[in-house]
């Protein structure tokens, strides 16, 4: 009876073929894993971009109208609204209503009420139709009054609206690859060039608009976002 086994050539061929098959499987697996991690990073970048733009949009939309500063170097400053409501002139006094009494009773010493703002200034003592909340007197449920305040009004709001803010500026800037808010980094994934942040003041026909044009970049891939954010509050 003749016994047979592998010849040297057969063994070498088996090793070579097995190696080729393993390389093919490894390459296929690596391609799938690389594609998966690439899609995860891409999704993470897009999620971060959406979060940053949504955060900026919410703050800008609910800022005191007409009180924006564009320094021309990709920085926008504004005053966030703490509360808003309506006012009425009662003789020499100026009465106003708020949705939350804490916005007045618990307000900071710098907190102010402003009516029909028409310009940006950091010297709030020089701002027309602006009153320190610490001078307000409670006269009813959620109703306050500035005694003799009506005499200081330069112009009225067509809709009788007022805005309350704490006197602290919020500033968004684009610095290289970073977007910062009050010098705190919000994201550092921007491309090196082509990013802009500008403000167009309101007109009779249009609200004020903040234009955000940014490109997020990661591992050689980039996504460009162009968003116009309307300052929806009107005096």
Domain boundaries, the chain: 8-62+69-78+169-235, 81-165
Residue 75 has pLDDT above 80, yes or no: yes
Edge-to-edge strand ranges of the sheet holding 209-218: 196-200, 209-218, 221-230
Q: Could you tell me which residue, 187 or 42, shows the higher pLDDT?
A: 187
| pLDDT value, residue 235 | 61
| pLDDT value, residue 176 | 93
pTM: 0.79
Q: What is the mean pLDDT of residues 97-111?
A: 86
CA–CA distance, 116 with 198 (Å, rounded to integer): 23
Q: Could you tell me which residue, 7 or 62, shows the higher pLDDT?
A: 62
Q: Could you tell me which residue, 86 or 219, shows the higher pLDDT?
A: 86
CA–CA distance, 114 with 111 (Å, rounded to integer): 10
| pLDDT value, residue 69 | 92
Q: Could you tell me which residue, 81 or 106, shows the higher pLDDT?
A: 81
DSSP 8-state secondary structure symbol assigned to residue 156: -
Longest dimension (CA), the chain: 126
Q: What is the mean pLDDT of residues 8-16?
A: 74
Question: Which has the minimum average pLDDT: 29-33, 120-124, 202-206, 224-228?
Answer: 29-33
Confidence bin at 11 (pLDDT 50/70/90) = confident
Backbone angles phi, psi at 128, to 5 degrees: -65, 150
| pLDDT value, residue 103 | 84
Element (H, E) at 96: strand 93-97
Residue 16 has pLDDT above 80, yes or no: no
């Amino acid at each position: 009876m003749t016994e047979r086994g592998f010849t040297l050539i057969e063994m070498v061929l088996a090793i070579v073929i097995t190696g080729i098959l393993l390389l093919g499987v490894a390459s296929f697996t690596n391609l799938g894993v690389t594609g998966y991690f690439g899609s995860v990073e891409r999704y993470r970048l897009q999620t971060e971009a959406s979060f940053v733009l949504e955060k900026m949009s919410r703050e800008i939309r609910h800022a005191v109208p007409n009180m924006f500063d564009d320094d021309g170097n990709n920085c926008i400053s504004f005053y966030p609204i703490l509360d808003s409501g309506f006012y009425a002139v009662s003789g020499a006094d100026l009465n106003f209503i708020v949705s939350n009494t804490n916005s007045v009773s618990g307000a900071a010493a710098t907190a102010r009420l402003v009516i029909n703002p028409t310009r940006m200034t950091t010297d709030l003592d020089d701002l027309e139709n602006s009153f320190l909340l610490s001078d307000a007197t409670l006269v009813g449920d959620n109703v306050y009054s500035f005694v003799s305040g009506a005499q200081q009004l330069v112009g009225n709001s067509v809709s009788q609206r007022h805005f309350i803010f704490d006197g602290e500026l919020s500033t968004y800037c684009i610095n290289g690859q970073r977007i910062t808010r009050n010098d705190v980094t919000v994201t550092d994934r921007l491309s090196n060039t082509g990013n802009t942040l500008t403000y167009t003041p309101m007109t009779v026909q249009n609200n004020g608009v903040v234009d955000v044009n940014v490109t997020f970049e990661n591992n050689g891939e980039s996504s460009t976002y162009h968003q116009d954010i309307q300052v929806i509050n009107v005096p």
